[in-house]
Structure 1
Amino acid sequence: MSGTPRGSGGLRAVLFDMDGTLVETEQYWGEAMFELAASLGGRMSAEARAATVGSSMRRSMGILHADLGLVRSEEQLRADAAWVEDRTAQLLASGISWSPGARELLVAVREAGLRTALVTTTPRRLADIVLTTVRGDLGDDPFDVTVCGDEVPARKPDPAPYLQAMAALGVEAQECVVIEDSDAGVTAGLAAGAAVLGVPTVQEIPPAAGLVLRDGLVEVDVAALAAVLSEGSSTGVWA
């Protein structure tokens, strides 16, 4: 294992969530679910939509169906999930924007010599649409490792995706900062043993030990991430 990059304290790797954290694509999932709800004869509540953020597709469909008061068979659930994924893929293809501050942070992390991973619950086929845009914008691949929702034994809030990414990066949990916008993602990062920077958007994230909360990624730099790693050993606070 090589030396710690200069100016980063003990920080060796940064693990990014995708939807709502790195890129502003969370609204596409919401739009697809609202459209599905309408096709099923109902209207998904804002509260139910917020509860789906960061969740697996199966759990999201369960939340949607319960919100509409529907009982769906396993076959129907799978069909609904496939429809949402296909519709989201169409929306992603129409254009993808960075979350404020995310591009600048990712570039700074790479320039500092830190290891990087993208860890998302999104299936590979959809994540690749985002990654193609990100790579095209930056001119190279900014991630040493990418872990998608259909490539892990368990999805967030289980720590498995982050543990898999850390193993592939060759780093220890105490050398990592995870950046997440959802409660499920934060829970997964903390359970994996990493310090977590939470940047909630649609969904509220409760304070927790090991968690630092901010309003967004604007003006977050490598020094700020090193501070998150340090602060992560104490009770979660708003920075």
Structure 2
Amino acid sequence: MSELTAVLFDMDGTLLATEQYWDEALVELGAGWGTTVGPEALAATAGVDLDGAMAIVRAAVGVSRTPEQSAADHAWVVGRVEELMAGSVSWQPGARELLLACLAEGVRTALVTTTPRALVTHVLGHLRPDLGTEPFEVVVCGDEVPARKPDPAPYLQAMAALGLGPADCVVVEDSLTGSRAGLDAGCRVLGVPAGQVLPAEPGLTVGSTLVGVTPAALAALPYPVRA
């Protein structure tokens, strides 16, 4: 069996059911424009940074916004999601158990998310008392990286902070953009998609849930073999 030193977790939609908060805020934003944001547009925003997600939504509903209006929209969405996250966050099925198993077995953990630090702070404020411990050795947020997913920069930054290389790590993701970032960082990736299809790629293992996934199962994931 391969060695596993660290697991690098995505947050929204992977560990936590917080993707719905971004969807809710984007739907409300569209309603403020006098339009309806449909499920196909929302599905296309999975794993995309907020500016990219708003561009997808604008194109889907046929709305044009000035740079000033777009900046105001961005601030409004972040504020709305902050309100929702401050209320509560919920685990994805199997995620809490997998994270606790990693901590119990001495597998190092990192959180690598496109979400900005201010919102992640709210989330961690919920997770620490729930888990009874500090869940992540390293936290990399979307406003602290030179480029966002699907660029590998966030995962490369997390590995550098841990002092590890790709062979030591497994990435756990839910989106196409996140999986691409993990693969391009050289890591094995477990993808558990919700609403997206993840194509077969070397190094990517696609599952339907995190329920029953263990550190041993992650350690056994195949390494990417590329020409």
Tell me whether the two structures share a fold, i.e. TM-score over 0.5.
Answer: yes
Cα deviation digits, residues 54-103 of structure 1 (max 9, x gap): 10111111011111111111111111111111111111122111111111
Letter in 2 for 1:119: V
Trace 1:1-239 onto structure 2 (pairs within 5 A).
9-228=2-221, 231-233=222-224
Letter in 2 for 1:51: A
4+ residue runs over 4 A deviation = none
Letter in 2 for 1:159: P
TM-score by length of 2: 0.97
Letter in 1 for 2:214: D
Inter-partner Cα distance in structure 1 for 2:205 and 2:180: 13
How far the C-alpha of 1:234 sits from its partner, in A, is: 5.1
Aligned length: 226
Cα deviation digits, residues 7-50 of structure 1 (max 9, x gap): x7321110000011111111111011001001101011211111
Instruction: List gaps (5 residues or longer) in structure 1.
Output: 1-7
Inter-partner Cα distance in structure 2 for 1:65 and 1:137: 38
Inter-partner Cα distance in structure 2 for 1:207 and 1:101: 23
Inter-partner Cα distance in structure 1 for 2:49 and 2:197: 18
- Identical pairs, percent: 56
Instruction: List gaps (5 residues or longer) in structure 2.
Output: none
Letter in 2 for 1:232: Y
